[in-house]
Amino acid sequence: MVGETLRNLLMIAWLLPLCGFAIEIFGGFWGSRKSRLAAWIAVGCIATGFVCSASALLIWGRQNEWVVLDKAGHGHDEAGHSEGENHAAPGHEGTAPHAEEHKEEPAKAQEEKHGSVAGSGSYLLTSMEEAKADQTAKQTVFSGTIYRLATFGGLELSLDYYIDSLTLVMFTMVTFIATCIHLFAMGYMSEELTEEYVDHHAHLRNGHHLHRPGRFYRFFAFLSLFCFSMLGLVIAGNIFQVFVFWELVGICSFLLIGFYTERKSASNAANKAFIMNRVGDFGFLIGLMVIWTYFGTFRFGESHNAEGQVTQAGLFQMLARDEAGNVTKSAENGEVVIGAAEASLNPVNSRKTIPYFLLVVAGLGVFAGCIGKSAQFPLQTWLPDAMEGPTPVSALVHSATMVAAGVYLVGRFYPMFVQEVLLTIAYVGCITLFVAATIAVVATDIKKVLAYSTISQLGYMMLGLGVFGWGAGLFHLVTHAFFKSLMFLCSGSVIYGCHHEQEMPKMGGLWKKMPITAFTMLIGVIAISGLAIPGLINLSTVFAFSGFFSKDAVVATALAFVKANPAHFLLFIVPLITAGITAFYMFRLWFYTFAGKPRDMHVYDHCHEAPLIMTAPLMVLSVLAAFCAVGGEKGPLFLLITGDQPGHVAHGISATNGLTLPGHDAIHSVHGQAGLLALIAAVSGTAIAWLLYGTEKVNVAEIKRQLSGVHSFLANKWHFDDLYDAIFMRPMHIAGKFCAWFDRTVFDGILHSAAKITVFVSQWDRKFDETVVDGLVNLVGNSTWSVGNSLRTVQTGRLRQYVMFIVVGVVALFAILITSFAG
Amino acid sequence: MSASLNAYLLVGAVLFICGVVCMATKRNGIGVLMGVELVLNGANVNFVAFSKFTDLGLDGQIFSLFVIVLAAAEAAVALAIALNFYNNHLTIDVDRANKLKG
Amino acid sequence: MSGENLLFTIFAVLTCVSAIAVVVSQTVVRMAFWLVLSLGSTSALFFLANADFVGASQLLVYVGGTLVLLVFGVMLTASGPYLKIATSPGETVLGALVALLFGFVIFACVNGVEWRSPEAAGTRAVAGNTLRPLGLSLLGSRPDHDLKDGDRLTPGYLLPFEIVSIHLLVVLIGAAYLARAKRRTVSPSVQS
């Protein structure tokens, strides 16, 4: 029953934006372009969605009596003896108490007490299967089918739902941020509330600016469509449904990046984003094929019949893992066993196997889709260009939600990834975070800095997931969504206030003009930089904003991973250094924009603070950006996210050959060390930024000149675009030119010669017609005419002469007869 | 001169030739008609002669009867034509009727 | 020379002479007169050849009907009392030449053929009083044939007789149509 309630609530939250989209796009708002009604509809839909999501979260928590949060307390209590005993419950034992959690979330704490009777092991539910009959009250995972679309043989395509704690957190997060951004966008896009909008960035051929009707309603329609697609992606209960909504968010991204479609750069950026995503989605499709071929289902969870019995195991139940966390291999051929969990259920198909390398291929394929969507190396170049879209779009689509969908999918699909895939994920994330961070150092466009920052942080998430920090990566996903959307909205506020000036060198000293924006931005910057004040309350705790905790979790996991696998030491060193770089470029951005003296008085004089409808979301988001992760890895958010983490995560994987992946205990043992190192890096980065940009005592230009080689290399984005141009575009152009040449010479030549032959034959045919055929006909006619003409004289018209002729003729006949008979 | 078959045939031949010559030389339309009558009469003489002198029998006479009847009809029509011709040309000279000259 | 031969000679000569006279006469009225003589003597020849009904028809139809018609034509078309339309001498000579040529051909034919006599082919000769056989023949019965071989019935002349009757009717109507009095729209110059 609870499952149905949850499903209904989430479906309302999911489908309301679709209704909103239909009303907004077909509701005839083009007739009244000055109306804000479309925006209010969109806000209403998504706000209702947020309410539904939040209530769904509460209902879910009450239903299972907050076993998820409860674990923390028990884990702490059992901290003393869980270590070294290989206890089944992977605790988050730590030295830090969890007092803050109760302080910040009294309501949830209340719930937690109710659920305290639950055993410490029961939070580990990874599927319904493990939720045995006596634990149904504590059920945390709900899955089922909403609507069956089609059945092709054994392939069943359906709309499924899969609700666990991660789904609920994502739902709440997405709807909440979307609501804030919708409100912000009402202010930001108000310039579109006109019959004649002048686009100063779109130049017509005659040199004038483009004049067009405002598209306020259309923007909100696209936003609503995006919300629908994103929520559908999150609620999706099978990988195919994920793929469908994956493409839907892609098309929404395309529409929103190209919102100023008259601008050449905007339409190019939209195309680039779409096409690069297709590259990743190709891999996604290959992964889907492998999965379908060997697993025979797309569903995450089990399928039930009407009586509630399990008819088919889901993907997550099929891949059996042994106690060490390795996938079970068949004794006969060494292939990976599928469906051991359902052996009793369906003995005939119970011993299916899949070659190990195909499991890797499936994982890498799905991850390829995530690379494209989350702008990871090597497909990261589309995201900076996507900043051509309106800033609310950058905040919602290209920082908080859609690009995080790749990370979400990696997290959601985690049970299917084997060690090799995870290592790939880790390295891809590692490369991405470093490359993007270095580029962000030299970027001057305020949105570009944030875009590279986004890529870098997404890299952190991927790294975290790749080094077996399932919770860490997704934790960073949620905290990043808050502070990055906050910062994007702040930058939007700056751009709005500065009349669409995005270049930071023209700003400076803006904090006097827009204090709210500057202050909220500072919160975001501190959050992302990972600054913290250790030992504020006592020596073993820290006071920090959300970014510290999540990044700390990632770095700690990485350290644990490197300790287990020393060969991959880069996976710890690089993110550690990048943590400093992150702090550096984020404070550089803040100092550049808000501190110091105004560098362009024209911009400064006309600059103004944004209206309340834009600053209010900033303030709300800043609170969340600061405190959402309070308590760190013992805080409610982390516990909520990891409530339904895959079963093998907690223990880690201790492989006999291959990678050893750290469990929670291993991670925890290095937590303090990693946190300290990360903090040192962040503080030093901040200090350098303050030195260079805050104090104005160091000549930045001089440094730039001395390091001009490095600077130009970074400013050119590591020449990735040039590299792709050389690798893909140039050969494509050459191939295209060759095709064109081939067409023009060979095909056209064949066609032309065929045409010439036809003309030649036709001419010859014409001559034949004119001379022979016509000549014969004319000859007959002419001879007839001349014969008639010559015989004409015989017709004298004289009656008596005819009589004579008759007589003479008769005589002549007689003469002939006589002579012939005589002969 | 006995009344032999040849004698009859010679009389028919004379009548025929006279009719033909009459047609060929008379410029008067009525004269041409008379020539036609003579030709038909010559043929009648032959029919009757063969009826008497050969095994043609009664058929010859019947044919000559038809010829007489048709000659009368022909005379009626030809006379009507001649009258029409005269009405149109105010003469009966057949040489004036040369409209069919090629 | 028997009486029959004598009569034949007289009428034959009269016929031929009258016919030649028709040819050589210059006026239409004389031609009509000679024609009457020629046709009349021909009917006498028919009587001599035992074709009494044909001879009678010749007299009635030709001499009594056709020639009256011709004389009417002569009178209706004569613009003067003794109309002469002269033939050129060349044409006369040419006509004479052609006539001689043609006559030579016919005489050659007549004399060159060995005619079968009725005695040789079986007695079919008509022995006078032909009214009755002719009438029967026109009604579809052939007494001269059917009496000899009755099983091979020969069709008579009923159908030609009917056709000729219809033909005569058509000809009469046509002639009346052609010769009807038209409202002539003659210009004054032609009338004078």
For C73, which of B35, B82, B90 is closest by C-beta distance? B82
Against chain C, the chains showing at least 3 CB pairs within 8 Å are A, B
Contact C102 A804 (CB under 8 A): no
The reply to whether B100 falls in a domain is no
What's the Cα-to-Cα distance from A702 to each of A588, A692, A693, A708, C47, rounded to whole Å?
16, 11, 13, 10, 161
Chain B within 8 Å of C64 (Cβ-Cβ)? no
Identity of the amino acid at A141: V
Q: What is the pLDDT of residue A106?
A: 41
| Greatest pairwise CA separation for chain B in angstroms | 51
Asked, as a colleague might, if the bond just before A378 is cis with ω within 30 of 0, I would say yes
Contacts of A796 in chain B (CB under 8 A): 98, 101-102
The reply to whether C63 falls in a domain is yes
For C102, which of A800, A811, A818 is closest by C-beta distance? A811
The reply to whether B40 falls in a domain is yes
Please give the Cα distance from A488 to A484 (Å, whole number). Answer: 6
Please give the Cα distance from A281 to A286 (Å, whole number). Answer: 9
pLDDT (average), residues A169-190: 90
A814, A817, A819, A821, best to mutate vs chain C, most C CBs in 10 Å = A814
Boundaries of domain holding C191: 129-192
Q: What is the pLDDT of residue A179?
A: 92
CB contacts < 8 A (B, C): 247
Instruction: Assess contact for C70 and B72: CB atoms under 8 A.
Output: no
B4, B9, B10, B14, best to mutate vs chain C, most C CBs in 10 Å = B14
The reply to whether C85 falls in a domain is yes
Question: pLDDT tens, A397-451?
Answer: 888 888 888 899 998 888 888 888 888 999 999 999 999 999 888 888 888 899 9
Q: What is the pLDDT of residue C17?
A: 94
The reply to whether C70 falls in a domain is yes
Contacts of A810 in chain C (CB under 8 A): 102, 105
Q: What is the pLDDT of residue A120?
A: 34
pLDDT (average), residues B80-84: 86
State yes or no: pLDDT of A679 exceeds 80. yes
Question: pLDDT tens, A620-659?
Answer: 888 888 888 777 777 788 888 887 777 777 777 766 666 7
State yes or no: pLDDT of A79 exceeds 60. no
The reply to whether C3 falls in a domain is yes
Smallest CA–CA distance, residue B59 to chain C, in Å, is 9
The reply to whether C109 falls in a domain is no
C91, C98, C105, best to mutate vs chain A, most A CBs in 10 Å = C105
Q: Using H for helix, E for strand and C for coil, what is the string for A356-388?
A: HHHHHHHHHHHHHHHHHHCCCCCCCCHHHHHHH
Lowest-pLDDT choice from A87-96, A565-574, A685-694: A87-96
Map out the domains of chain A as residue ranges. 418-715, 723-780+796-822
Q: Do C13 and C74 have their domain in common? A: yes
Q: What is the CATH number of the domain that holds C30?
A: 1.20.120.1200
Other Cβ atoms less than 10 A from the Cβ of B7: the count is 18
Of how many residues is chain C composed? 192
| Pair of tokens at residue A516 | 């709210």
Q: What is the pLDDT of residue A750?
A: 93
The reply to whether C106 falls in a domain is no
Identity of the amino acid at A146: I
The reply to whether C111 falls in a domain is no
Contact A800 C91 (CB under 8 A): yes
Identity of the amino acid at C157: Y
Which residues are registered as beta bridge partners of A312? Answer: A303
Please give the Cα distance from A155 to A323 (Å, whole number). Answer: 32
Q: What are phi and psi for residue A350, nearest 5 degrees?
A: -75, -25
Contacts of B98 in chain A (CB under 8 A): 796-798
pLDDT (average), residues A204-220: 83
Reduced to 3 states (helix: H, G, I; strand: E, B; else coil), residue B93 is strand
Please give the Cα distance from A793 to A789 (Å, whole number). Answer: 8
What separation, in Å, do the N-terminal and C-terminal C-alpha atoms of chain A show?
131
Q: Which of C90, C117, C137 is the last residue of a domain?
A: C90
Instruction: Please give the mean pLDDT across all residues of chain B.
Output: 86
Contact B98 A798 (CB under 8 A): yes
The reply to whether B51 falls in a domain is yes
For C98, which of A804, A814, A815 is closest by C-beta distance? A804
Q: What is the pLDDT of residue C126?
A: 57
- Per-residue confidence band for B42, with pLDDT thresholds at 50, 70 and 90: very high
Q: What is the pLDDT of residue A351?
A: 58
Contact A807 C102 (CB under 8 A): yes
Smallest CA–CA distance, residue A796 to chain B, in Å, is 5
Other Cβ atoms less than 10 A from the Cβ of A787: the count is 10
What's the Cα-to-Cα distance from A161 to each of A46, A297, A314, rounded to whole Å?
20, 15, 12
Contact C98 A810 (CB under 8 A): no
Other Cβ atoms less than 10 A from the Cβ of A754: the count is 10
Please give the Cα distance from A708 to A33 (Å, whole number). Answer: 49
Identity of the amino acid at B24: A
For A798, which of B20, B32, B95 is closest by C-beta distance? B95
Question: pLDDT tens, A694-706?
Answer: 777 777 777 778 8
- Per-residue confidence band for C15, with pLDDT thresholds at 50, 70 and 90: very high
What's the Cα-to-Cα distance from A234 to each of A331, A399, B40, C2, rounded to whole Å?
38, 16, 123, 150
| B5-25 helix and B29-53 helix, angle to the nearest 10 degrees | 170
Give how many domains chain C has, as a whole number: 2
Reduced to 3 states (helix: H, G, I; strand: E, B; else coil), residue A212 is strand
For A814, which of C94, C98, C105 is closest by C-beta distance? C105
Which residues are registered as beta bridge partners of A338? Answer: A319, A352
What's the Cα-to-Cα distance from A52 to each of A175, A407, A621, B7, rounded to whole Å?
9, 24, 19, 143
| A239-257 helix and A356-373 helix, angle to the nearest 10 degrees | 20
Return the exposure string of A542-574: e unless at least 16 CB atoms fall within 10 Å of the residue's CB, then b: bebbbbbbbbbbbbbbbbbbbbbbeebeebbeb
The reply to whether B20 falls in a domain is no
pLDDT (average), residues A671-678: 83
Reduced to 3 states (helix: H, G, I; strand: E, B; else coil), residue A29 is helix
Torsion angle of the four alpha carbons B88, B94, B98, B99, in this order, in degrees rounded to the nearest 10: 30
Look at the block and give the residue holding tokens 């996938």: A327
Question: pLDDT tens, A572-624?
Answer: 889 999 999 999 999 988 888 888 788 878 888 888 888 888 888 889 888 88
More confident residue, A37 or A79: A37
Please give the Cα distance from A55 to A818 (Å, whole number). Answer: 135
Look at the block and give the residue holding tokens 């078959």: B5
Q: What are phi and psi for residue A258, nearest 5 degrees?
A: -90, 30
pLDDT (average), residues A521-546: 75
- Per-residue confidence band for A133, with pLDDT thresholds at 50, 70 and 90: very low
Within A64-120, residue ranges assigned H as helices are: 67-77, 79-82, 99-104, 106-114
Q: What is the pTM of this model?
A: 0.64
The reply to whether B48 falls in a domain is yes
State yes or no: pLDDT of A680 exceeds 70. yes
Return the exposure string of A191-229: e unless at least 16 CB atoms fall within 10 Å of the residue's CB, then b: ebbeeebebeebeeeeeeeeebebbbbbbbbbbbbbbbb
C87, C102, C104, best to mutate vs chain A, most A CBs in 10 Å = C102
- Write out the residues of chain A at the interface with chain C, using a CB-CB cutoff of 8 A: 800, 804, 807-808, 810-811, 814-815, 818
How do beta strands A532-534 and A142-152 pair?
Answer: unpaired
Please give the Cα distance from A310 to A303 (Å, whole number). Answer: 6
State yes or no: pLDDT of C121 exceeds 70. no
CB contacts < 8 A (A, B): 37
What separation, in Å, do the N-terminal and C-terminal C-alpha atoms of chain C show?
62
Please give the Cα distance from A737 to C83 (Å, whole number). Answer: 108
The reply to whether B37 falls in a domain is yes
Give how many domains chain B has, as a whole number: 1
Report the sign of the C-alpha dihedral through residues A246, A248, A252, A255, in that order. positive
Please give the Cα distance from C38 to C36 (Å, whole number). Answer: 5
Q: Return the percentage of chain C with pLDDT > 70, whole number.
A: 77
Q: What is the pLDDT of residue C152?
A: 61
pLDDT (average), residues A138-156: 79
The reply to whether B5 falls in a domain is no
The reply to whether C72 falls in a domain is yes
Contact C105 A800 (CB under 8 A): no
Other Cβ atoms less than 10 A from the Cβ of A355: the count is 14
| Greatest pairwise CA separation for chain C in angstroms | 73
Boundaries of domain holding B76: 27-92
| Pair of tokens at residue A350 | 């119970």
The reply to whether B9 falls in a domain is no
Q: What is the pLDDT of residue A124?
A: 37
Within A698-747, residue ranges assigned H as helices are: 700-706, 708-715, 720-724, 730-742
More confident residue, A671 or A243: A243
The DSSP result for A635-678, as a single string, is SHHHHHHGGG--TTTTT-B--SSS--B--HHHHHHTHHHHHHHH
Here the ipTM equals: 0.90
C-alpha A85, offset from chain centre: 42
The DSSP result for C67-119, as a single string, is HHHHHHHHHHH-SSTT-B-PPPHHHHHHHHHHHHHHHHHHHHHHHHS-PPPHH
